[in-house]
Amino acid sequence: MRRVRYESPGGPLFLEEVPVPEPGPGELLVRCAAVGLTLPMVRKVAEAAEPVPLGGEVAGEVVAAGPGVSRFRTGDRVTGLCFGHGYADFAVVREAMAAPVPEGAGFVTAIALVRSGLVAYGALEAARLAPGESVLVTAAASGVGHLAVQLARARGAGRVVGAVSSAAKADFVRSLGVDDCVRYDDDGWGEPVDCVLDAVGGELLTPALAALAPHGRLVAYSSGGGTIQAYDLLVGAKSVTGFQMALIARERPELYERWRRELWRLHAEGSLKPAVHGEFALEEAEAAHRVITTRANLGKVVLCP
């Protein structure tokens, strides 16, 4: 089979031929029809001290199941998170990290909807967004962000603001139904909001916190790090919560499953429309990564083996 790897930090991605892996206990072997790219994985390629397996979100058909697997069988359509080599024709996925893809739904749609949607849904849950409240979403044109603004509206937000890095993304974000769209370098982000969902981190944490109204809540789910001054929290009695989807998947599987079903329900009724920036072949993985590193993507970036 083909898979993508690299040999040095920041080095070029290339294809290699390797044997098809075998699933171990509690694992599924999936023939990959779609592979979702994520910013954390792209960052690892550039920043990790040693090369790491290119893992991530995969969707496709189960072709083999390891010992102890009980929920899936050969021929099932699934999507899930691969912690090993996922940029490949075949990938191994832990049964606990896999979920069924409904009949009639495409694998690319599943990639664009499920994992990114779960992060967006979970971030809104962590923010305790109440009907009528206002919310601002950074990286609003990203795979997670463009779903977060739609979910906020579906959950009854009174005002939804998208924050983006460039004016080129504003029309796309406005097409999602936001009330306003701001740029990171704007002098202030308009009227204060009750909640901020931040997927960027770093230096953006300061203006994100400043965008909150008194008693506002900031949910940070970025891999970009950053520092917040305690005094900035005290003024206005603001709060910050960290959110990580992996913890929910491991420790609250029933919650993970309930959120997943809700995402498909909202998609079926037309309230949630995942956008795909582009579908790239495996040999185009380098170009696909470049779309993310340059922050050019509008929606999800997907590899299609």
CATH number at residue 30: 3.90.180.10
Residues 81 and 151 in one domain: no
Residues 67 and 166 in one domain: no
**Could you give the number of structural domains in the chain?**
2
Query: pLDDT tens digits, residue range 18-35?
Result: 999 999 999 999 999 999
Question: What domain range is 127 assigned to?
Answer: 115-245
Mean pLDDT of the chain: 94
Residues 96 and 184 in one domain: no
Q: Are 290 and 297 in contact (CB under 8 A)?
A: no
Q: Which of 47, 34, 45 is nearest to 82 (CA)?
A: 34
Residues 97 and 121 in one domain: no
Characterize the bridge pairing of strands 239-242 and 27-36: unpaired
Global pTM value? 0.90
Evaluate if residue 56 carries a pLDDT over 80: yes
Residues 88 and 140 in one domain: no
What is the gyration radius of the CA atoms in the chain, in angstroms? Answer: 19
Query: pLDDT tens digits, residue range 112-134?
Result: 999 999 999 999 999 999 999 99
Residues 189 and 91 in one domain: no
Query: pLDDT tens digits, residue range 64-110?
Result: 999 999 999 999 999 999 999 999 999 999 998 899 999 999 999 99
Instruction: Record the tokens describing residue 273, joined without a space.
Output: 């429309």
